[in-house]
Amino acid sequence: QTQQNEIAQCLQTITLQQQQRLMDYQLNKDAADRAEREQIRLQQQREEARRNAEARLDPKTYNGKTLPIFKSGDCPMTFLQNFQRACLDIAALCEIWVHLLCSQVSGSLAEVLAEVPDMACDQFLMIIHHRLAYTPEALRLKLRNTKWDPKQSVCSLEDEINNRVIEWMRASQIQTLDRAIELIIFEQLQIAIPDYVRQQAFLHHSRNSMQFALCADEIHVYQQSKSAQFKSSQVKETVPKGDKYM
């Protein structure tokens, strides 16, 4: 009889333990389900806010205010900093920052940004530091801005420049020697000519370095002509008339 009682108690204990485990599992499952439902609800709210904002979205403005537009030859980092400042100034919904940005850029930058999901303001800098850092334009500027630190050896500087040249060439999809030479000539032209000539020449979207050079020459000659005309008019205004001294 005693042995039967012990067996019965053991079975009862096991049953109670199983029931407790089942209750714990159910509670945990309910909590997980609630958390998942809440996450889905928040995601749906964000999607709805984004869709509503996109419905009101103008490619060049937001809430009636103009957003900066990325132009060929602009520095990506400077543009994105200005864009971020503009988004904060006009209080644009952080969920649509990337969508707004995609409407303001073109070319390789647009292709990169198209793969970036909407993100909050505090995460937006990730685009600058991690995604756009690998575009041809950013790599070109990274190479151009390479400086020697007196604390490092010249050999390490040479290795750094070598790596940055390779990164830039790969990002620009250089497959032939002629294309590599063209790219280097184009880069050196940008360094050598004045800023105002380079910025205006870029607006013409030249397809090669020769077209870019011809366009830059036209701009430079035009600016020199305007400057000469202005100086000539200034001289004429300062020359006294003869009848005042008769």
Per-residue model confidence as pLDDT tens digits over 165-187: 888 888 777 778 887 888 888 87
Per-residue model confidence as pLDDT tens digits over 63-85: 666 777 776 666 666 777 777 77
Is the pLDDT score of 208 beyond 60?
A: yes
Question: What are the residue ranges of helices labelled H in the chain?
Answer: 2-55, 76-89, 97-102, 107-113, 121-126, 136-144, 154-171, 177-192, 195-202, 209-238
Sign of CA dihedral 42, 46, 48, 49: positive
pLDDT at residue 187 in the model: 79
pLDDT at residue 125 in the model: 54
pLDDT at residue 122 in the model: 45
Percent of the chain with pLDDT over 70: 57
Is the pLDDT score of 151 beyond 80?
A: yes
Per-residue model confidence as pLDDT tens digits over 128-146: 555 556 667 677 777 877 8
Confidence of residue 246 (pLDDT cuts 50, 70, 90): very low
Is the pLDDT score of 14 beyond 80?
A: no
Q: Per the confidence metrics, is the pTM higher than 0.75?
A: no
Which residue would you say has higher pLDDT here, 239 or 133? 133
> What whole-number distance in Å separates Cα of residue 150 and Cα of residue 156?
11
Mean pLDDT over each residue of the chain, to the nearest integer = 71
Is-contact 57 76, C-beta < 8 A? Answer: no
pLDDT at residue 244 in the model: 45
pLDDT at residue 106 in the model: 64
